[in-house]
Chain A
Amino acid sequence: MHGTTRAIRPAVDGSPVPHLIATLITLLSGIIAGLSITWLTVVGTPPTGMVRLGVWAFAPRVGASDVDPYVRGATVVRGDLPLGIGEGLALTAQSDSMGDPLDARCAYGLSGAIPSARYWTLARYAPDGTVADATTRRHAFTSSEIVRAHDGTFEITIARTVQPGNWLPLGDESRFVLMLRLYDTPLSASATTLRETDLPTISRRACQP
């Protein structure tokens, strides 16, 4: 290798030729950079394949065989089981309608429209997807369990302290995420028709110090 490098050394413009060690260092740092980019894109929110509508984010093709590679990478690393494209759609909220991250010291009101689906569920999780107190406390509602007003509208209050109506108690974690799952929805095949006004809003109320 060295022989070849030396042989082409006398370049016309006198610029130094690539050196073996410099080449190796460049390649190695390139590989490390490439692997780091992979890691960063799969542990966070995937850079492509996601749709964001208001507070909600979802991957329309996560349950299809042509899933976006970044979405698939993130799913593999988290280890959750996606819903197939013909089964339903899962949407995640990490922040309230003002854009602030969901904080378990605050109370939140979730209200507004829910896209048409045979059933839907709303569940809270720690950001890593665990639920510490799943057996002792409610951490989800199904569409059948919701108490509605006379006009069919509803509100879910998400707070640590006891609330009247549909109360989703928060656990001891500091941050939390909400997941809205729509089962058997015509949207799952064509989620592009979904608009922000079809989805509920999350507004922050009082916060504990």
Chain B
Amino acid sequence: MTVLFYALMFMVAAGLAHIVSLFALADLSGTDAHARLAAIAPENSMRVVGPARETGLPFAEPAVVLALCRYDLSRGPLRVAARTGDTFVSLTFIEPGSRVFHGLTDRTAAQGTVEVVLATPAQLRRISALDAPDDIVQEIRVIAPQPHGMVIVRALHPFASQRGETERTLSQATCEIEQLPE
């Protein structure tokens, strides 16, 4: 009986410690991509960092150049726009702790630009209320699960010689807070 009791107690303690630590890991470790990139990403503006390996992240894709934008939606929604070129451009949206909550490619581009408005649920309701009834919404609207996070723009250069051109295309990407009318 006693052995069984202690065994049960051991298993419950081990199970709880395992589950709690597994879920706390992402927020406490500080080793994840968001934590590492936060140091070099400007807030509410876009910065081209060049080849992915220059970020120091492991398993960096050699054929991709990156641009980063750390955001804080407390003052308003964020408008992200990236010019697309001849090759592949994609946007990754991550939360602190590096959970990817949205990712899209240049297939969603309209007139050569991928345009995304990132907003909190409250801001998005306000934006939708401001839409004129017969407006065609061009941009893609994404709900941010929390007010902080990061946008990563990846641009692929199929040939190494296209890197400069790809970086120039990427340098036109923007990331700006928009003021909603009162």
Chain A: residues with CB nearer than 8 A to chain B?
Answer: 13, 15-18, 22-23, 26-35, 37-38, 41-42, 62-65, 67, 69-70, 72-73, 75-88, 90, 118-119, 121, 123, 125, 128-131, 134, 139-140, 142-145, 179, 181, 183-184
Contact = CB atoms under 8 A, between A and B. Distances in A.
Contact of B92 (A83, A145, A179): A83
Given A34-B15, A121-B61, A64 B97 contact: no
Contact of A79 (B10, B33, B105): B33
A42 B25 contact: yes
B25 A77 contact: yes
Contacts of A32: 17
B13 interface: yes
B14 A31 contact: yes
10 contacts: A30-B14, A32-B17, A34-B16, A62-B100, A65-B100, A77-B25, A81-B94, A87-B104, A140-B61, A184-B105
Given A87-B92, A184-B105, A184-B107, A38 B25 contact: yes
Please give me the 10 A-B residue pairs with the lowest Cβ-Cβ distance, nearest first: A84-B103, A129-B58, A30-B13, A34-B17, A144-B158, A34-B18, A34-B14, A129-B59, A76-B32, A81-B33
Most B C-beta atoms less than 10 A away, residue of A63, A70, A90: A63
B12 to A, nearest CB: 7
A90 B90 CA distance: 15
Interface of B: 1-2, 5-6, 9-19, 21-23, 25-26, 29, 31-33, 36-37, 52-53, 57-63, 87-88, 90-94, 97-105, 107, 145, 152, 154, 156, 158-159
A82 B145 CA distance: 18
Contacts of A33: 10, 13-14, 17
B100 A35 contact: no
Contacts of B14: 30-31, 33-34, 37
Contact of A72 (B61, B99, B156): B99
A27 B13 contact: yes
A73 B22 contact: yes
Nearest to A77: B31
Nearest to B17: A34
Given A37-B14, A65-B145, A183-B156, A123 B61 contact: yes
Contacts, number: 189
Given A64-B100, A183-B156, A72 B17 contact: no
A22 B103 CA distance: 51
Contacts of B100: 62-65, 67, 82, 84-85
Nearest to A29: B10
A184 to B, nearest CB: 5
A123 B62 contact: yes
B103 A63 contact: yes
A92 to B, nearest CB: 8
Contact of A81 (B19, B97, B98): B98
A42 B90 CA distance: 28
Most B C-beta atoms less than 10 A away, residue of A38, A179, A184: A38
Contacts of A23: 6, 9
A34 B13 contact: yes
A79 to B, nearest CB: 5
A42 B61 CA distance: 22
B22 A84 contact: no
Contacts of B33: 75, 79-82
A77 B53 contact: no
Nearest to A11: B1
